[in-house]
Amino acid sequence: MNRNINLNVEKPNNSSSHYRINLIVAKLCKFMEEKEAISHVDSEKVLNRLDKTDLSNIHQFIQYREGTIPLIPDDANSLQMEIISEVAEILLEQEFGIPSNDMFDDDGQFYEQYQDRFNDLYDDLEEELINLDFKTL
């Protein structure tokens, strides 16, 4: 099994929040590589696929988990679900080597084989995200 994830993420010059976002994504990818026995999870590709909204959600979630901003539980849960869903979909694309659009039927639902795998990825990502210690990043 290839273990190419490097958690010694270089701190970008532009901000510590960007560094922490990179670190969170790298930790999630490393966890998935180990837990799911995926041969290689490219955290850089995952980061590059996340749009501004996704990155903003991760940043806000980090702040919430650090205790620097308050969120009502429903908002915190929504952020968490959005982050996990986006990362799981990107990992699904990496695993199957096809764009997620090709994994959906005409009604916009995942085909069964992809839905089952998405659910597994989602559950494992959720477990890791919940257990991360954001105060020591």
Give Cβ neighbours of residue 61 (< 8 Å, ≥ 6 apart). Answer: 76, 79, 80, 83
Lowest mean pLDDT of 28-42, 66-80, 121-135, name the range.
28-42
- Per-position DSSP letters for 5-39, written without gaps between them: ----PPPPSS-HHHHHHHHHHHHHHHHHHHHS--S
Q: What is the pTM of this model?
A: 0.83
In DSSP terms, 110 is beta-bridged to 104
Percent of the chain with pLDDT over 90: 64
Query: For residue 84, is pLDDT > 60?
Result: yes
Residue 25: both structure tokens together: 């994504």
| 29-43 residue pLDDT tens | 888 888 875 667 888
Please report, for the chain, the start and end positions of each structural domain, with discontinuous segments joined by +. Answer: 16-136
Any idea what DSSP says for residue 104? B
Is 125 within 8 Å of 24 (Cβ atoms)?
Answer: no
Distance CA 126, CA 64 (A): 16
